[in-house]
Structure formats: structure tokens, C-alpha cells
Amino acid sequence: MDRVATRLNAVPQFTTAIDGLEVHFIHLRSPEPDAVPLILTHGWPGSVLEFLDLLGPLTDPVAHGGADPGDAFHVVVPSLPGYGFGGKPTEVGWGVERIADAWAKLMRRLGYERYVAQGGDWGAPVSIALAGRDPEHLAGLSLNYPLAPRRGAEEPTAEERADLDDLKRFRAEGMGYSTQQATRPQTVAYGLTDSPAAQCAWIVEKFAAWSDCDGNPEDSFSRDELLDNVMVYWLNATAASSARLYWESFGTAFAAVEEIATPTAYVAYPREIIRLSERLARTRFTDLRYYNRVERGGHFAALEVPEIFLAEVRAGARTLGLR
């Protein structure tokens, strides 16, 4: 882990107490004076490691590939409570809404009056919750994981039928992990904390199932990338504390909000669990400024297809009216 520690220690990391919990976050300011503040939120079983290679291109696009300086961001990457290097909640109540409140406090503490929230997996409902809880400061959403549509289409297209078939298959065959973590997180956590092999299998199976790799995760990620992410969970003993977010919020986080009027950019990756057509996305996101379906990538897009992820975050942000 010396290699990973060196990578992490090369970027500015901080902890701060918010609502009685120690919050760990990466914070890197852009040299561009008009850069847009951007908070990136990971999910399960991910971590802040997903975004490390993107920090340079996001904050200093001119120095990393000669991109437009107008595509620069001030970047904040927090660890979800109970995940990674931050504090572990010791009381009930650290669900999606409370995390969103903490993120809003964090961004104000850093001096950002207007910002964009980007997220996939748990990062999506946390970012969406910010739309309702911090609307005076949240300028836009950038999502690669949506909520389900508010209503179905009367005549679904072939594309929408394929999306729905994949979702039905996932609900029938792939939700055992979430049911366990949402109902008995502590039970499975004893085994995961005791056995590095169990923790590795519990996480890497999701990288195999949810990425664009035809079942072989090493076609999308290096072995080091897979093991580095597992070690963030293993060394910090976060099997229980990370799973508790399912217990706190799984039943409501992905369906609670009726409409989201915040300017939104949404990108559908072909191997994501939930994908929406543009017309179905608009049933929830009433100010959808940017929509795209890309040709490659899955649930861990920032790590799996970083060039596509970077291009899509930039393209979406340009439509949000921040410059």
C-alpha cells in the first residue's frame, strides 16, 4: 500500500468535523480563476480512489492535454460517512439526506457559493438530495446513475425495452448483496472484516458484474486498481459502516423525489444497472440540459472509462449556465 499512500499523499487531503462526524475529503483548487466548484461523490463498493487520475485534468485542463481553460473545476471529493478514511457513524440517522446536508456545509465551509454535484451509485441520490436541501447553492447536477422514471412510456422503444429487460434481470438475479446490507448489515460484516478473501470477493464480484467487461473485471481495470479499492475497505474495517447506508436509506433513496427541477446533465453508460432514455429521464428531471448515451463503460465509469467520463462531465457542465 506504500504506492497508494504515495498517490494519495500527493494530493491535498483534509478532515473536518461536520454534525459530530469526521469527514475526510480531497480538495484541489484550479489555477483558473473562473473554475466551477464540483463535488464528486462515489458509491458502494467504490471510494475516492476512483477519481485520483481525473484530478489533474479536471482542475487544470490546459496543463493536461491542452483542453479549454473554461472546462476547469475546483474539485472536492469526500469519502462517504463510514467509507474509506472518514469517520464511522455511531448513531442512527446518517442516511442520504443527512449526508447531503453535510456536503452542503462542507462546500460553504470551503467558500463555494455555487457548485455542481456529480455522482453515481450512492453519489447520485446524495447529489439529488442536495437539489432539495441546498437549492440556493446547488447550480446543477451531473449524474451517471438516475432514479427510476416517474412513469413508463406507453409504447417503449426497442432501446427502452432493452434497458428494462436488463433492470428486470438485475432485480431477479443481482440484488442479494443489497437485501443483505439493507436488512442485516452487521451480520455479513463480521465475515467480511474477518476474512480478506471474503471482502475481496464481495467487492470484486461487483466490478465484474457491473462493468463493461463481459464478466472479466481485468478487461476493464488493472489488478492493482481492483485490489487498491478492496484494501480501502479492508484496512479501514468499513464493511459494516459502509453497508449501513443501505440499512439507512435503501428503501427510499432511489424513489423519494417526485421531480427534480435543478439543471441536470445525465449520461447513460451501456453496462450501468439502471439506464434511462431521454424521454424517461425527463419524467423526473424537468430541466434536463444534457443527455447522452455513450458506447462504453459501466457502473464505475470514472475508473473504467476515464476519458469518456471526463469528456461527459465537461460537456454536461457547459450546458448548466455557470459561465
Is residue 269 part of the annotated active site? The answer reads no
Give CA–CA dist 320/323, Å, rounded. Answer: 8
Is residue 194 part of the annotated active site? The answer reads no
Joined together, the cell numbers standing for residue 249 give 436509506
Burial grade of 271 (CB within 10 A; 0-12, 13-18, 19 or more): buried
- Report the DSSP beta bridge partners of residue 291: 266
Say which of 71, 121, 134, 228 is annotated catalytic. 121
Say which of 145, 177, 246, 291 is annotated catalytic. 246
Q: Which residue has the cell 442485516?
A: 184
Is-contact 186 240, C-beta < 8 A?
yes
Give CA–CA dist 191/128, Å, rounded. Answer: 33
In this structure, the strands spanning 73-78 and 288-293 are unpaired
Is residue 291 part of the annotated active site? The answer reads no
Say which of 24, 42, 74, 299 is annotated catalytic. 299
DSSP state of 224: H
Give the angle 248-254-257 at the CA atoms, nearest 5°: 105
Active-site annotation, residues: 121, 246, 299
